[in-house]
Structure 1
Amino acid sequence: MVHESVFRTQDLPAADRFEAWIQRMGRTHAPMQLSSEHAADYDGSQRAILLGDVTVWPATFDPLVFRRTPRLIRASDPEAYHLSLLLKGEGAASWGSSRQAVYTMNDFHVSTSSRPFEIHTGADPVTIVGVEMPRAQVPLPGRHADQVMGRRISATEGIGALLAQFLLRIAADTSRYRPADGPRLATVVTDLVAAAFAHALDADPSLPPESRHRTLALRVKAFVRRHLADPGLTPATIAAAHHISRSHLYRLFRAEGLTVASYIRDQRLEHARRDLLDPARSTEPIHAVAARWGFPRAAEFTRAFRTAYGLPPSELRARERPRPGPPGDAPPSDRGRLANDTAPRSGASW
């Protein structure tokens, strides 16, 4: 899995917690002045997921005021962008006396270590997914990217929704990724951030072509995953939904060593496999699972499943059922091995 570290103030004596949180935030983004009414017994937790030069950090913490001052900038500037996806709570930010913004749940807040700012969270604890990345890696002219501070980027629509979904997927489970995947995931995050900035500023022409192509590919994949249950999901309908030609669609997938048909098939099979392994669905007929994920004909599903995973769906489910053992013994399970051994043989998500 990719490298991550966990920090919890509750693991420290109460008198040391707030200072330790200040130091942690300073290392995560840049040195800041922090203050809080809860400083005497501060509660904060953070996971730092390292993806090469990009860090994704889910966190929950007590109300706080962040200040990045001109003096701190002169003393130390890592020249980084910060984004916070606000999942719970609220906040307000200001850059000087003329630029202010209020953030609520499902908004992105953007700041940079190279500009002074002041951020106040609300009266309740906040939960965020933060992102840190070098300014140099965002392929937008500085004058455009800096202007995004103070603009609202929604996490529920457009490019912001794609970025939010990707960050939440990474934060939910890092075990599926190997260390070598970190830089690749960082590239996707950087491209989505650049696209979100450009969209917010209506500056899409400033994005490099490769970033636009990657972003479009991610949008297409997200569309496919949302419509897997539709038996009518075809290259033609996908291309039409994104106002591109089928040949353009094929080129997007070919650049990743995939075909449109194989990606759809592999995603459907993977979702069906997960349902077959779900104990809560153990009594559901296999043909119903298949139909839910776009396989209306049971025989076609069985053939595709056997080709992808090396065994029919009925055998996979049977191998996963707990077997009775001696009294007091836990039922044996090879779920962990199956989870690895039965990965699709072609295609990939993201």
Structure 2
Amino acid sequence: MPATTVLETRRASTLDLPVEQRLAFWDDYNASILVGLKCSSFAQTGLTATQDNLCLDRLRLARIDGNEHVVERSLPMIRSTPSESIFVALVQHSQSFFYQGDNCLLLQPGDLLLYRNDKPYLFGFSGPMRLFIFDMPASDFAEHCLRDLQGAVRVGAESPVQRLLVRSLGERVDGFFDAPRHEQAARFQTETYDLLASIISDHAGEHRASALSAAYLLAAKQYIQQHLDDPALSCEQVAAATGVSSRHLARLFAQEGGAPGRYLLEKRLARARQMLASPMGARLGVAEIAYCNGFSSQAHFARSFKARYGVTPSEVRRG
């Protein structure tokens, strides 16, 4: 596959439609690409909205711009278009409100909203808005972000760490939508999960770090992700590229209960497993996939893979 392959981005806009057709068009598009919703707008100009959508391996993305409006997901919609995925919404530009069950949340620009799609809700925007939606399988959300999400949760960007991470998240998603390169998709997905996990765990009080520490940790993870194919990559090299000592790097990862070497191995194994199961990776042998992910020998790769996932690389490929 050429290195310049661009992922397909779907786009919908109400701007060129007659006002009376916009709401029905918007509802139909969201049901086909995101989730079943009913949209209402009381603006004199009607609903003016644009939506971009990308579908990655384990993550679906939406970037929505519009004027003031309200969307509702009712019980009949849940029955007709069921979804067990978890949505993480990053609110920008406008104040908004969210009702689910007995919970009413008021949201400010920069807030994250975590909510389930198998329960009714009402989501409204009081002015010109931009919204990023991260559509995640419930199992992935539980593994990476929050183990048991029952009701809607607002994650406010009150601390310097959260503001830094939320700003980085928004900039990365915007940049990826503008240039969604196929060869960057896996790395973008991993970094997005890491950012969301860091923001949510900081909100939950699982770890507290300064904004500077969060920036160093984010830079270290990005450097590791960009050099997974380098068999000589070491913690010392990552520390030097990040601008900290090896001991300081270890302390940064310890704030999340991990270590740089363990993080590196996890990311190599995860990318190798993705390649083994993908059509593109089918053209490569197991040894080639091992070397592409920085393993110096196929035997070491096979042992590490079996220890992590309980199956061999060959068994994943056959499956």
Identify unmatched segments of 5+ residues in structure 1. Answer: 205-214, 225-229, 258-350
1:235 aligns with 2:273: no
Aligned with 2:61 (options 50, 56, 63): 56
CA apart distance, 1:126: 0.8
- Seen in structure 2, the aligned counterparts of structure 1 residues 48 and 231 have a Cα distance that, compared at 3 Å, is closer
Hey, what does 1:66 align to over in structure 2?
A: 71
Aligned with 1:152 (options 147, 152, 155): 155
1:135 aligns with 2:135: no
Q: Counterparts of 1:10 and 1:115 in 2: how far apart (Å)?
A: 31
Aligned with 2:125 (options 121, 138, 152): 121
Hey, what does 2:169 align to over in structure 1?
A: 166
Q: Counterparts of 1:39 and 1:79 in 2: how far apart (Å)?
A: 35
Q: Counterparts of 1:248 and 1:141 in 2: how far apart (Å)?
A: 16
CA apart distance, 1:15: 2.7
For residues 156-212 of structure 1, the C-alpha deviation after alignment (integer angstroms, 9 at most, x for no partner) is 6446743552342132245655325434433443344345444433468xxxxxxxx
Q: Any residues of structure 2 matched to 1:264-275 within 5 Å, and which?
A: none
Check conservation: 2:219, 2:242, Cα contact below 8 A: no
- Seen in structure 2, the aligned counterparts of structure 1 residues 128 and 151 have a Cα distance that, compared at 3 Å, is closer
Q: Percent identity?
A: 15
Please say which of residues 159-168 and 8-17 is displaced more in the overlay: 159-168
Give 3-state SS (helix, strand or coil) of 1:46's partner.
strand
Q: Highest Rg: 1 or 2? A: 1
CA apart distance, 1:44: 0.3
CA apart distance, 1:108: 1.0
Give 3-state SS (helix, strand or coil) of 1:30's partner.
coil
CA apart distance, 1:89: 0.6
Identify unmatched segments of 5+ residues in structure 2. Answer: 1-5, 208-214, 225-239, 269-319
Check conservation: 2:86, 2:117, Cα contact below 8 A: yes
CA apart distance, 1:150: 3.1
- Seen in structure 2, the aligned counterparts of structure 1 residues 27 and 201 have a Cα distance that, compared at 3 Å, is farther
CA apart distance, 1:82: 1.4
CA apart distance, 1:60: 0.9
Check conservation: 2:38, 2:72, Cα contact below 8 A: yes
- Seen in structure 2, the aligned counterparts of structure 1 residues 74 and 200 have a Cα distance that, compared at 3 Å, is farther
- Seen in structure 2, the aligned counterparts of structure 1 residues 195 and 157 have a Cα distance that, compared at 3 Å, is same
TM-score, length-normalised on structure 2?
Answer: 0.61
For residues 252-300 of structure 1, the C-alpha deviation after alignment (integer angstroms, 9 at most, x for no partner) is 457667xxxxxxxxxxxxxxxxxxxxxxxxxxxxxxxxxxxxxxxxxxx
Q: Counterparts of 1:138 and 1:157 in 2: how far apart (Å)?
A: 24
For residues 23-48 of structure 1, the C-alpha deviation after alignment (integer angstroms, 9 at most, x for no partner) is 22333432122211038632101111
Number of residue pairs matched by the alignment: 239
Hey, what does 2:91 align to over in structure 1?
A: 86
Aligned with 2:35 (options 23, 26, 30): 30
Hey, what does 2:182 align to over in structure 1?
A: 179
- Seen in structure 2, the aligned counterparts of structure 1 residues 219 and 73 have a Cα distance that, compared at 3 Å, is farther
Q: Counterparts of 1:161 and 1:6 in 2: how far apart (Å)?
A: 29
Q: Counterparts of 2:8 and 2:187 in 1: how far apart (Å)?
A: 14
Alignment root-mean-square deviation, CA: 3.9
